[in-house]
């Protein structure tokens, strides 16, 4: 789960990480008022969306009056901010963060991520702050500093000092860097984060170490332990399909294809998508219905896939171990009788109670295309989709 910049700064502030004074606004009028509350002569207005690259996309404005703030917010509110991370559809702007501007002397990149190879928290830092880490890696890889943290002892002060010196931080500011690094690490571990990124972490003209931007991502599976973090979720920034699936206990990732997939098991779901691609089709989603595929759960998955307007054919691929093929078949029949589905549906069942499942599908009288292997299922769903599209073209031509 991602959270907004202002939320990340509030979380990190509770762990001793310093950031500029700022306030949230939900309208141009409120944003202008916030600047007067904060005081000062210059402010930065930032669109709050779950995406990087906001500055290049016009989502960050430096203003020197409340009138300029109002005008900037007039353009931002209700607009779609398109960055390299959002895709062409962009993300809606419904709130902005107004922050006092600071005089920047240096910019540093700082990130904490889980390195699955070493099974440790890895710190990635660079003296080239303000750039995306991908750009830094490509253009100035020699500037990157890496360090792993031994979980038994945590992040020690000597490691923080080593990182600070490698970044060229003045000796008088090292202790502030130590406090910032340790605060980020504590937030990462105590709140079950999967990423903490400050870009840029700046050294100001008056020698303060300040987080000018902040991003945090949390492990969804651990949110039950942190209700205060779970409450920060903003569904307006999420793919509605993925949000709806998560609320129903399903694992869903939306893609750009047109063949919907309903599969049990992450590995089988990935194999199914690959096989569809090999057969000449494009998967519309990754959907893992999990181990307990009751008829009701299968029906929920079907409705979720059908809610995607891009889906033009559906492939159900179940290898039953814990699951039962007859349950899956009942769920498929249930939803096809309740909802009018005007697209091809291919079902491949294997494993526990497969004979009973096949009998349920056959006895339903519904136009379900059956398959016995994954390759056969992928070929049949792609062929059925192509035939369906060709038939639609012929009908339009005849009319």
Distance of CA 272 to CAs 9, 167, 326, 327, Å?
41, 46, 21, 20
Tell me whether residue 53 is annotated as binding: yes
Q: Is 388 annotated as a binding residue?
A: no
CB 393 within 8 A of CB 362: no
CB 42 within 8 A of CB 271: no
Give the residue numbers annotated as catalytic, written as ranges: 109, 197
**Would you list the DSSP string of 123-167?**
EEEES-TTS-HHHHHHH-GGGEEEEEE-TTT---HHHHHHHHHHT
Give the C-alpha separation, 225 to 230, whole Å. Answer: 9
Token pair belonging to 278:
């090999």
74 is in an annotated binding site: no
**Residue 264 annotated in ligand binding:** yes
**213 among the known binding-site residues?**
yes
Residue 353 marked ligand-binding: no
Q: Long-range contacts of range 365-372, CB-CB < 8 Å, 24 or more positions apart?
A: 366/333, 366/336, 366/337, 368/332, 368/336, 369/344, 369/345, 370/346, 371/346, 371/347, 372/348
H helix or E strand, kind and range, residue 252? strand 251-254
Annotated binding residues for ATP, written as ranges, equal: 46, 53-55, 99, 102, 107
Annotated binding residues for Mg(2+), written as ranges, equal: 199, 213
Annotated binding residues, written as ranges, equal: 46, 53-55, 99, 102, 107, 199, 213, 264
Annotated binding residues for substrate, written as ranges, equal: 264
């Amino acid at each position: 789960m991602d959270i907004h910049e202002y939320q990340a700064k509030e979380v990190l502030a509770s762990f001793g990480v310093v950031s500029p004074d700022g306030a949230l606004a939900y309208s141009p009028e409120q944003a202008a008022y916030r600047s007067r509350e904060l005081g000062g002569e210059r402010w930065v207005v930032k669109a709050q969306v779950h995406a990087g690259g906001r500055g290049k996309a016009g989502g960050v404005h430096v203003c020197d009056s409340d009138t300029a703030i109002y005008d900037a917010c007039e353009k931002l509110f209700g607009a779609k901010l398109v960055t390299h991370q959002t895709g062409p559809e962009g993300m809606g702007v419904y709130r902005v963060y107004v922050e006092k501007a600071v005089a920047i002397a240096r910019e540093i990149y700082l990130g904490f991520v889980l390195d699955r190879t070493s099974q440790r928290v890895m710190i990635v830092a660079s003296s080239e702050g303000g750039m995306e880490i991908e750009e830094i890696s490509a253009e100035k890889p020699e500037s990157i500093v890496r360090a792993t943290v031994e979980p038994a002892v945590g992040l020690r002060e000597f490691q923080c000092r080593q990182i600070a010196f490698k970044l060229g931080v003045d000796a008088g500011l090292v202790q502030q860097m130590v406090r910032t690094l340790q605060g980020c690490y504590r937030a990462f571990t105590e709140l079950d984060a999967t990423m903490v990124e400050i870009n840029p972490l700046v050294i100001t003209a008056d020698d303060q170490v300040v987080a000018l931007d902040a991003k945090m991502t949390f492990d969804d599976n651990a949110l039950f332990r942190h209700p205060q973090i779970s409450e920060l979720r903003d569904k307006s920034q999420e793919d509605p399909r993925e949000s709806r699936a998560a609320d129903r206990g399903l694992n869903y990732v939306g893609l750009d294809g047109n063949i919907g997939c309903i599969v049990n098991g992450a590995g089988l779901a990935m194999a199914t998508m690959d096989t569809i691609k090999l057969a000449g089709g494009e998967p519309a989603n990754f959907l893992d219905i999990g181990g307990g595929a009751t008829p009701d759960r299968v029906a929920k998955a079907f409705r979720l896939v059908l809610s995607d307007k891009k889906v033009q054919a559906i492939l159900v691929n179940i290898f039953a171990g814990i699951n039962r093929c007859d349950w899956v078949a009942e769920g498929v029949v249930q939803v096809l009788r309740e909802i009018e589905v005007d697209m091809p549906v291919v079902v491949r069942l294997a494993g526990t109670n497969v004979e009973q499942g096949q009998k349920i599908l056959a006895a339903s009288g519904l136009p379900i295309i059956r398959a016995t292997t994954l390759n056969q299922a992928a070929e049949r769903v792609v062929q059925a989709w192509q035939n369906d599209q060709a038939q639609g073209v012929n009908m339009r031509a005849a009319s």
